[in-house]
Structure 1
Amino acid sequence: MDLEAFKATLAEAEPLEEWGRPLQALWWAAQGNWDRAHRLAQAEPGPDGAWVHAYLHRLEGDLGNASYWYRRAARPVSQAKLEKEWEAIAAELLP
């Protein structure tokens, strides 16, 4: 699946289970459901979950917390527009 196909799924009622928690979290974030997205990202112990977690805290404006999660993800703190960062994360995580 490519980024455009992933974006097209935003018209669906739920994300696909086989995507895993980080992609599902991004999907929920795009739906405006920050809490559900955060729960999924927080439940993913690896660097992909930490990267999405960082994005979510940046989205909410908590830059200190976001910085912590970028470090956990071994990623630089993003300076990109939020939409561009969302796309970059999704593109990298898509199978």
Structure 2
Amino acid sequence: MTYDEFISSIGNTDSVPDKLNVQLQALWHDAKGNWQIAHDLIDHLEDPASAHVHAYLHRVEGDLWNARYWYNRAKQPEYKGGLKEEWEQLVKILL
């Protein structure tokens, strides 16, 4: 799936596209305004990619302490830019 196809799927369907990994599923749900579903998908996962998405989701929530914890777990620097830019960057990395 390309980035443009991923973006298009957000507006064109109510179901997650087939074959997306769990991290992209979480970002897809976040874009649809379903933060809790997004968080529930990755909350129990400990791999670096999930930890990175988890950090982003806690930034969205406004829980910066928790976000910093998850950036550390992901071995990623704390993102200092906007939420939209971080979301876009994560999607592009994970695709």
What stretches of structure 1 of length at least 5 have no aligned partner? none
Percent identity between matched residues is: 44
Alignment partner of 1:53 is 2:60: no
Contact persistence 1:70–1:76 (CA under 8 A)? yes
Return the TM-score normalized by structure 1: 0.93
What corresponds to 1:69 in structure 2? 70
Q: Tell me how far 1:2 sits from its aligned partner.
A: 2.1
CA drift of 1:43 comes to 3.3
Q: Which amino acid is 1:88 matched to?
A: Q
> In the TM superposition, what is the alpha-carbon distance from 1:55 to its structure 2 partner?
0.3
Q: Give the Cα separation in 2 of the matches to 1:17 and 1:83.
A: 24
Over aligned residue pairs, what C-alpha RMSD do you find? 1.0
Task: Report the TM-score, using the length of structure 2 for normalisation.
Answer: 0.93
SS class of match (1:32) = coil
1:27-61 deviations in Å (ceiling 9; x for gaps): 00001111000001213321111011000000011
What CA distance in whole angstroms lies between the structure 2 residues aligned with 1:43 and 1:17?
Answer: 22
Mapped to 2, the partners of 1:64 and 1:70 lie a distance apart of 10
Alignment of 1:2-41 (within 5 A): 2-11=2-11, 12-41=13-42
Runs of 4+ in 1 over 4 A off after TM superposition: none
| Residue of structure 2 in register with 1:79 after alignment | 80
Question: How far off its partner does 1:17 sit?
Answer: 4.1
